Amino acid sequence: MDLSRFEPLDDFRWALAGGAGRAPVILYGDRELLAAMDDKVLEQIGNVARLPGLVGAAMTMPDAHWGYGFPIGGVAAFDAEQGGIVSAGGVGFDISCGIRCLRTGLTLDKLARKMKALADGLFVSIPAGLGREGHLHVDPQTLDRVLAGGAQWAVERGYGKPVDLEYIEDHGRADGADPTQVSAQAKARQLGEMGTLGSGNHYLEVQVVDRVLDAEAAAAFGIAEGDVLVSIHCGSRGLGHQIGTEYLVSLAKAAARLGIDLPDRELACAPIASPEGQAYLGAMRAGINCALANRQILAYLTRRTFGHFFPGADLETLFDVSHNTCKAEPHRVDGRERILHVHRKGATRAFGPGHPALPERYRAVGQPVIIGGSMGTGSYLLAGCAEGEARAFSSASHGAGRQMSRSAALRRWRGRQLIDELAERGILIRTESMRGAAEEAPGAYKDVHRVAEATEGAGLARRVAFLRPKICVKG
């Protein structure tokens, strides 16, 4: 990407002034990260800046890369009172894809004695892979209750503890979900997929806290160097994908009916207040609840497996955060509070210290933010910054971000060889798909250290700890 078109606001913020029906654009990241991005990222976020009712700038996070509609790592907020829109292309197909992070109460020395057995046990107990069904099958009536209740439904059915809900965004349930706006076909795809990881970049990873960079926040998060954590990365599975597919069509028709000039057909949208906009929001929120319930069930399965190998181990929820959503949130703009529909496509909500939505335990230091790395490279745990509210509506990076397509990765790496190389480094990979392992090769992603440093440098979230992988179960 040619940065000569941008005005550098500082070392980590780059602005492109608005004009000709387009709002401003701000890209977050250091010069090297942005220079390496495809020009398609700028084209896509520039198109977002032309959508009606946008408040402030259209933004990309340091891990941004080309996507469908919005770039992955795109953030934009819209005001319904000013004709603001909701776009399925601004949420993505894997609605509420996110990460559940668990403290295990174990340390690396204890894990090392049973690591291979634990890896094998997790591979058996955690269903992973394209189209893979789980141990829990639900009927259509029960699924409607899942879509309305989210993680709260799962806890009520014994898949976890009530205290889990305190450490999940929105207490484990999105208000305003409307299962009647989800098609029968979307529901049919989910009946056997509750409690499953899926494929692609979804994973369950056992990690060790390798370095603590912010002692105060680490203490609040209940972690120390040498502690073992678990991260579960997945979303709403086939149901979310079907919702996204179907509503791209209905929202495109709504845009045509209402005379909205779409700069890109992938940005199919409708006014938030329109019948089509409300229908999508109801379905999308049902998709959020599906994902929250899914991760809650997977956390239960993980606890059960750890309990078999480490009797008495108490796996607590550190936090659960989504990164493919549109949420109605109060934000202060130009001196007054407004309700904005914030699209975060491959971006994480990152409330700063003192925010009333945070658990009391974390309120003094800010919301836990997880930047997931690629298979074998490690991840970062961060905390939201106060300045992130004004800069990006309290949003931050969600992962390392791809720098190479899956097809290019397949041409460069072989899954079996990659798994063997990682094993030599003490990282155990368990997967049924050698192709999937090659697609998710560490070299196919940006440098997670640089992304985390840029996220901190931009004032979006500050680094708390680096997590080194030990076991990865994936599709």
The set of catalytic residues is 398
* Residue keyed to tokens 């004004």: 390
DSSP state of 207: E
Q: Which helix (H) or strand (E) holds 261?
A: none
Rg over CA atoms, the chain: 21
**Tally of CA atoms within 13 A in the half-sphere of 265 that contains its CB:** 4
Label the pairing between strands 203-212 and 461-474. antiparallel
Q: CA 87 to CA 64: how far, in whole Å?
A: 18
> How distant, in Å, are the alpha carbons of 76, 221, 322, 392 from that of 28?
13, 26, 20, 10
Which 3 state secondary structure label does DSSP give 227? strand
Residue 71 has what DSSP assignment?
P
Among the listed residues 220, 416, 197, the one whose alpha carbon sits nearest the alpha carbon of residue 318: 220
Query: Contact at 8 Å (CB) between 378 and 209?
Result: no
Q: How far apart are CA 166 and CA 164, in angstroms?
A: 5
Spatial neighbors of 52 by CB under 8 A, at least 6 apart, are 78, 82, 83, 84, 85, 260, 271
Q: Write the CB contacts of 162 (distance below 8 Å, at least 6 apart in sequence).
A: 155
Q: By C-alpha distance, which of 143, 105, 81, 129 is closest to 316?
A: 105
DSSP bridge pairs for 205: 231, 472
| Residues 194, 159, 103, 427, Cα dihedral to 10° | -40
CATH assignment of 7-86+99-403+445-474, given 3.40.190.10, 3.90.1860.10, 3.30.390.30, 3.40.50.300? 3.90.1860.10
Q: What's the full length of the chain, in residues?
A: 475
Using an 8 Å Cβ cutoff, are 304 and 116 in contact?
A: no
Q: What is the pLDDT along the chain (475 residues), one digit of tens a residue?
A: 888 889 999 999 999 998 888 999 999 999 999 999 999 999 999 999 999 999 999 999 999 999 999 999 999 999 999 999 999 999 999 999 999 999 999 999 999 999 999 999 999 999 887 766 777 889 999 999 999 999 999 999 999 999 999 999 999 999 999 999 999 999 999 999 999 998 888 999 999 999 999 999 999 999 999 999 999 999 999 999 999 999 999 999 999 999 999 999 999 999 999 999 999 999 999 999 999 999 999 999 999 999 999 999 999 999 999 999 999 999 999 889 999 999 999 999 999 999 999 999 999 999 999 999 888 899 999 999 999 999 999 999 999 988 888 899 889 989 899 999 999 999 999 998 898 899 888 888 999 999 999 999 999 999 999 999 999 999 8
Q: Which of 175, 195, 184 is nearest to 140 (CA)?
A: 184
Give this prediction's pTM. 0.96
In the beta sheet, which residues pair with residue 209? 467
